[in-house]
Amino acid sequence: MESKFYEEDKLLVLKITSEIDDHIVQEIRRRADYEMERYMPRKVIFDFNNVTFMDSSGIGFLIGRYKFANIIGAKLEMTNLGSSIKKIFEMSGILKLIPTVELN
């Protein structure tokens, strides 16, 4: 995972650079929580551009981070969802909680 913090906007971009399954998600979760705690951002954007595979662990991961973001007072957004990732998120209804945005 690559993280980038934009101080002026208090924006944290977390780019996931691996597949997301039950095994790998444990490490991504630790890292995401660490970065969120470290920067205390107002907004966190998860970038899925480099995610080539995701199963339902991704849903649990995002719901967990959504709760954590609420605790620290941050908003959560997602960007660059591939078609199969989108299909899984649509099925779970998570897109109603966490909006997708365009990010360059």
Partner 1 sequence: MFNNEMKLEFISKSSNEAFARVAVAAFASQLDPTIEELADIKTAVSEAVTNSIIHGYEKKQGVVKISSWLTENEIIIEISDKGKGIENIEMAKEPLYTTKPNLERSGMGFTIMESFMDKVDVESVVGLGTKVTMSKIIKPKEEKDEDDFKMLMSNN
The site for partner 1 (CB under 8 A) is made up of: 19, 21-25, 29, 53-57, 59-61, 63-64, 83-84, 88, 91-92
Which helix (H) or strand (E) covers residue 37, if one does?
A: helix 25-39
- Shortest separation between residue 21's beta carbon and partner 1, angstroms: 5
CA angle (44 as vertex; 43, 48 as ends), nearest 5 = 145
- Shortest separation between residue 82's beta carbon and partner 1, angstroms: 9
Length of the chain: 104
**Which residue from 45, 22, 19, 21 is spatially nearest to 32, judged by alpha carbons?**
45
- Shortest separation between residue 78's beta carbon and partner 1, angstroms: 15
Tell me whether residue 73 or residue 93 sits nearer to partner 1 (CB atom).
93
